[in-house]
Structure formats: C-alpha cells, structure tokens
Amino acid sequence: MTVALITGANSGIGRGAAVDLAAKGWTVYGSMRSLDKGDKLTAMAEEAGVTVHPVVCDVTDSDSVDAAVADVIDRAGRIDVLVNNAGIGGNGVLEEVSIETYAEVMDVNLHGVIRCCQAVLPHMRERGEGCILNVSSIAGIIAAIAQSPYVASKWALEGLTEGLAQEVALHGIRVALIEPGIVKTAIMAKNVDAPNATGAYDRAYQRLFAFYAAGLMTPGHPSEVSEVIHEAATTDSPRLRYTCGWGGEELVAGRAAMSDEDWVALGALEDDGEYVDRFNELFGLDLSPGLG
C-alpha cells in the first residue's frame, strides 16, 4: 500500500488529492499548519468513506517539517510519495511589489519544498526508492502577467525540480512536476490583489484578471489534478512534467511555438481588442469574456 504525505492538504488541490488518493487505496497523511484547519478535509474524507491522517506541518519552519516527516515515518513505517503542494499566490508587477512580499512567497513556494525534500530524501535514499511530486503551475512555464512574485517562485521551483530529478535518479527516486492551469480552488478567491500603486499598470492588471475570468468559466477540477498526481507516481513511463487544468496544454504549446520577440510584442499591444485577438491566435484561448 502506497504511503503518501501531501502538504497543504487543508484546502484546494491538496485536500482533493488527499481524499481522492485515499479512495484509491493509498495511506494518506495530509499536512496543515494547524489541525483546526482540517475540518473540511475530515468532512470530505468521511463523505467519501476514507481516512486521511492529519499532520501538523508549517512548511516555512524547518523544525516543523522535520517533526512532521518523522511522525509519518514513525506511524506508517515509510513515505513512498511526497506531494509538495502547499503554496500561496502573489500578484503584482515587479515595480510595485515589496521585497518582503517576494520573500514571503518564496519561503512557502520554494523554500517550503526544499525543506520537505531535505527531510524526506535521506529516508528515500536509504530505501532506494520513492517519488517526489512538486506542484508547480502553468505560471512556472509562462510568465503570467502581473503575477511577478508567484511566477518567480514557480520558475525557481521548475529549475530546482529539474536539477533534483537528475540528482536522485541513481538512487531510484522519481521526481516530477505537476503544472496545473486554472483549477477551481479557494486560492482563486483569495488571489485578487492588484496593488497598482502607481496607476501605471492598469492594463497589466486588467489582463491578469481577464485571464482568470476566462479560465473560471470552465475551470479544471481538483480531481483532475489528483488523477495526474496518481499517474505521475505510478506510471511505467514517467515524465518530468505533467500539465492539466484549463489552459495548461494550450499555454505550454503556444509558448513553445512562439519566439521571445512575439512574447514581448504581445505585452506591447495597447488596444485590448487587439490583445484578445493576438492571445487567441497564439494560444487558442479566448479572453474576451473578461476583456471584451
């Protein structure tokens, strides 16, 4: 029976994955900063007729991470799969975001992953097997406009994971990136900041929210991500990257097919109608519901 530790399991993708993977017969430990944040996870697990074991873990605290990993190993005997899912958003154009905000986003989205990997890897190396799945974002592939802190953290996570995959391959450890597009989770409702302190970046923020408005008309579901996580951990033909959710495949393919010059030129379009048309031409995604 597969034993998994999923961080950030109290909401969104992590909560859905915890319940869905438990339903597939996995023994799932779902971490959260405080057990009082796990009521909805418990309710969803009970409704599905499964058990998800809650674990206290603050990914910004090395001692907390070490204690959580030790607790799971003590209770289950091993960790087969680590899903680094805990994360926060971070809107804003570079000029208007404080260094403190960048540091906060990086501490969760990047340093939190590092802490969890460092806690689990000695155990996996000793066993000669294991799987680490890092939940990134389509924003780790394409620099989503006006989300500079979030994009920076996810691009860093992509590089970190590419390197890690090679570093541990000889130890029998599988590493992969999960790159969701827009998925309907609570983080969408929370991620509505638009600092616009200078007033100079109206278009950037409008285009950011137009993208999410379009995606949230037909968003991916957390269960879609759960299936991808299960596939990445169990397939006989593993890949480094798995994309899912609204816009995921289109954005990856579109960015790969276009030049860097075309990417910059897209941002230089002043007319919103021209921007919508060009975005659709490049990516096959219609932003007109939010920017018509």
Q: Does the structure show a pLDDT above 90 at 195?
A: no
Q: Which of 179-193, 212-226, 227-241 is predicted least confidently?
A: 179-193
Q: N- to C-terminal Cα distance for the chain? A: 51
Contacts of 100 (CB under 8 A, 6+ apart): none
d(CA 103, CA 234): 34
What's residue 291's pLDDT?
81
What's residue 88's pLDDT?
96
How open is the CA angle 264-269-217, to the nearest 5 degrees?
95
Q: Does the structure show a pLDDT above 60 at 189?
A: no
Annotated catalytic residues are 150
Q: Does the structure show a pLDDT above 70 at 187?
A: no
Task: State pLDDT tens for residues 100-120.
Answer: 999 999 999 999 999 999 999
Query: Domains of the chain (ranges plus CATH)?
Result: 3-200+220-253 (3.40.50.720)
- Contact call for residues 251 and 240 (beta carbons, < 8 A): no
Task: State pLDDT tens for residues 74-92.
Answer: 999 999 999 999 999 999 9
> To the nearest whole number, what is the mean pLDDT of the chain?
95
What's residue 289's pLDDT?
87
Contacts of 262 (CB under 8 A, 6+ apart): 282
* Residue tagged 């460092």 (tokens): 118
> Which of 190, 191, 220, 194 has the alpha carbon at shortest distance from 207?
194
Task: State pLDDT tens for residues 54-69.
Answer: 999 999 999 999 999 9
Q: Which two tokens stand for residue 60?
A: 């910004």
Task: State pLDDT tens for residues 133-165.
Answer: 999 999 999 999 999 999 999 999 999 999 999
What's residue 186's pLDDT?
65
- In this prediction, residue 197 has a pLDDT band, given cuts at 50, 70 and 90, of confident
How open is the CA angle 10-215-260, to the nearest 5 degrees?
110
Of the two residues 191 and 129, the one the predictor is more confident about is 129
Listing DSSP states for 138-175 in one string gives GGGTS--TTBHHHHHHHHHHHHHHHHHHHHTGGGTEEE
Q: Which residues pair with 243 in a beta bridge?
A: 179
Task: State pLDDT tens for residues 163-178.
Answer: 999 999 999 999 999 9
Q: Which residues pair with 56 in a beta bridge?
A: 32
The DSSP secondary-structure symbol of 194 reads -
How confident is the model over 256-277, as a mean pLDDT? 96
What's residue 29's pLDDT?
98
- In this prediction, residue 270 has a pLDDT band, given cuts at 50, 70 and 90, of very high
